[in-house]
Amino acid sequence: MKKINIGVLGVGYVGLPLTISLGKYFKTIGFDLNKERIKQLNQGIDTNNDFTKKQFKLSKKAFFTYEKKYLKKVNVYIITVPTPVTKTKKPDLTLLNKAIEIVAKYLSDNDTIIIESTVYPGYCETEIPKILKNLKKNFTLNKNFFIGYSPERINPGDKTHTINNITKIISGSNSSTVNLLKKIYGKINKNKLFKAKSIKVAEAAKVIENAQRDINIAFVNELSYLFNKMNIPVNDVIKAASTKWNFLKFYPGFVGGHCVAVDPYYLSFISNHFGFEPKFLLRARKINDYFYKHVFKLISKKLKKNSKILVMGVTFKENCPDVRNSQIPKLVELLKRKYLVHVYDPIANVAKNYSIKEKKIKKYDAIILCVKHNKFKLFGIDTLNKKLIKDGIIFDIKNMLGNYKNVIKL
């Protein structure tokens, strides 16, 4: 094939590391409709804190743009846009389909579209060709264009498992496409590649990874609800069980973010289409979605109306600025009905309609430790107690502190 010219559509948590890595070896365009983000990236600023200015500079063949015209020369389109769920928990493929529409305008014969976004099994090879057939008459898969699927494995906030050292699954609509993906992705991660048997298999592998995490957290969350009623500290039980060689250390907590809380719905959507309702999977979702209400109940039992509460941590996971799909804003809304609530999170990107304040109230009745940010780990019990009235309570949801009289755990 001719020289590889890559266009990455979407430069968020997934697209940015990809663009920066590919940009060391291939002509790569990082494309996004978000002008503000593009401006920042062109200045070497990543508001997700994943990359420094220096790292941007090392990626000599990459550049960022929101202007579609630059996509003209691209022959490999990699789509990394978010694929969330709708309010009714159905796959929301709007952004992905919009990206495909943009690609359709510039797609030439023999070009390749690679999807990194989560989709349900079957999507790439059935839906994408349909969309393209509508937009480009007679454009046919494996004749005029090719599809590759290589699910993203970005773990926001994780500096160990990065795109340059993790194994990447590759798959394609035919064997030459698989080879193209091998050439592209193998370059950036020393050929740590796994060829899936088919695109369907790769799509399925992606959704089950996060569904598995979801069910394991659902299990410990259910245990947490149960042992709370029995007055057995769930964290002590997990600690004891963890001394067995094959026990899996999962801890109770808020499940949020763009993968773990979302991917199970992609799987259940297509399951229903095939006449199978994955009840176990959906029960896990229910349990995990209930967690913030459980925490609210725990708190309500201990505090008087109008107590002053400081919520520490609001993001969907530790050391990551993302508040989208976090359960903590929901908890805060519940708390606000009964208490005076302030939220403190030095890392969070503030989402609209939700303000995060570090108010200068001297003493709170209670502090709720919600997220295990490294910055919070530095605070000991004494620092926190200074922010509390005498007999003030700390709700240590993430089991960050030792055992103290005024610290309540799950």
* Comparison of 127 and 222: residue with beta carbon closer to a copy of itself: 222
CB of 274 to a copy of itself, least distance (A): 5
Report if residue 236 touches a copy of itself, rule: CB under 8 A: yes
Q: Indicate which single residue of 63, 233, 379, 408 sits in contact with a copy of itself (rule: CB under 8 A).
A: 233
3-state DSSP assignment of residue 367? strand
* Comparison of 244 and 304: residue with beta carbon closer to a copy of itself: 244
Candidate ranges 173-181, 277-285, 309-317, 374-382; the one touching a copy of itself (CB under 8 A): 277-285
Q: Which residues contact 219 (CB under 8 A, 6 or more apart)?
A: 250, 284
Report if residue 265 touches a copy of itself, rule: CB under 8 A: no
3-state DSSP assignment of residue 332? helix
Tokens of 287: 């349990």
* Comparison of 127 and 209: residue with beta carbon closer to a copy of itself: 209
CB of 272 to a copy of itself, least distance (A): 10
Binding mask 128-167 for a copy of itself (x = CB under 8 A): -------------------------x-------x----xx
Q: Indicate which single residue of 208, 340, 351, 408 sits in contact with a copy of itself (rule: CB under 8 A).
A: 208
Report if residue 284 touches a copy of itself, rule: CB under 8 A: yes
* Strand ranges across the sheet with 308-312: 340-344, 308-312, 364-369, 388-396, 407-408
Using CB under 8 A, which residues numbered 185 to 204 contact a copy of itself?
Answer: 194, 196-198, 200-202, 204
Q: Indicate which single residue of 216, 300, 319, 349 sits in contact with a copy of itself (rule: CB under 8 A).
A: 216
Q: Indicate which single residue of 278, 330, 375, 401 sits in contact with a copy of itself (rule: CB under 8 A).
A: 278
Could you give the C-alpha distances from 108 to 32, 139, 206, in angstroms and in order? 21, 10, 29
* Comparison of 106 and 222: residue with beta carbon closer to a copy of itself: 222
Catalytic residues: 259
145-149 and 62-65 beta bridge pairing: unpaired
Contact 31, 71 (CB under 8 A): yes
Per DSSP, the residues of 204-255 read: HHHHHHHHHHHHHHHHHHHHHHHHHHHT--HHHHHHHHTTSTT---------
Q: Total residues at the site for a copy of itself (CB under 8 A)?
A: 59
Q: How many Cβ atoms from other residues are within 10 Å of residue 98's Cβ?
A: 14
Candidate ranges 29-37, 107-115, 232-240, 363-371; the one touching a copy of itself (CB under 8 A): 232-240
Q: Indicate which single residue of 84, 222, 354, 387 sits in contact with a copy of itself (rule: CB under 8 A).
A: 222
Taking only Cα atoms into account, the Rg of the chain, rounded to an integer number of angstroms, comes to: 23
Q: Indicate which single residue of 68, 279, 336, 359 sits in contact with a copy of itself (rule: CB under 8 A).
A: 279
Q: Indicate which single residue of 104, 127, 187, 209 sits in contact with a copy of itself (rule: CB under 8 A).
A: 209
Candidate ranges 128-136, 241-249, 365-373, 380-388; the one touching a copy of itself (CB under 8 A): 241-249
* Comparison of 84 and 278: residue with beta carbon closer to a copy of itself: 278
If we measure between CA atoms, which residue out of 85, 71, 158, 133 comes closest to residue 325? Answer: 85
Contact 142, 174 (CB under 8 A): yes
Contact 105, 70 (CB under 8 A): no
Distance CA 234, CA 232 (A): 6
Cα dihedral: 282, 284, 287, 291 (round 10): -120
Q: Indicate which single residue of 3, 244, 337, 352 sits in contact with a copy of itself (rule: CB under 8 A).
A: 244
Distance CA 132, CA 138 (A): 9
CB of 246 to a copy of itself, least distance (A): 7
Q: How many Cβ atoms from other residues are within 10 Å of residue 247's Cβ?
A: 11
Q: b/e string for 209-244 if b means 16 or more Cβ within 10 A? A: bbbebbbbbbebbbbbbebbeeeeebbeebeeeeee
Q: Indicate which single residue of 128, 287, 299, 394 sits in contact with a copy of itself (rule: CB under 8 A).
A: 287
Residues that bind a copy of itself (CB under 8 A): 121-122, 153, 161, 166-167, 169, 194, 196-198, 200-202, 204-206, 208-209, 211-213, 215-216, 218-219, 222-223, 225-227, 229-230, 232-233, 236-238, 240-241, 243-248, 267, 270-271, 274-276, 278-281, 283-284, 287
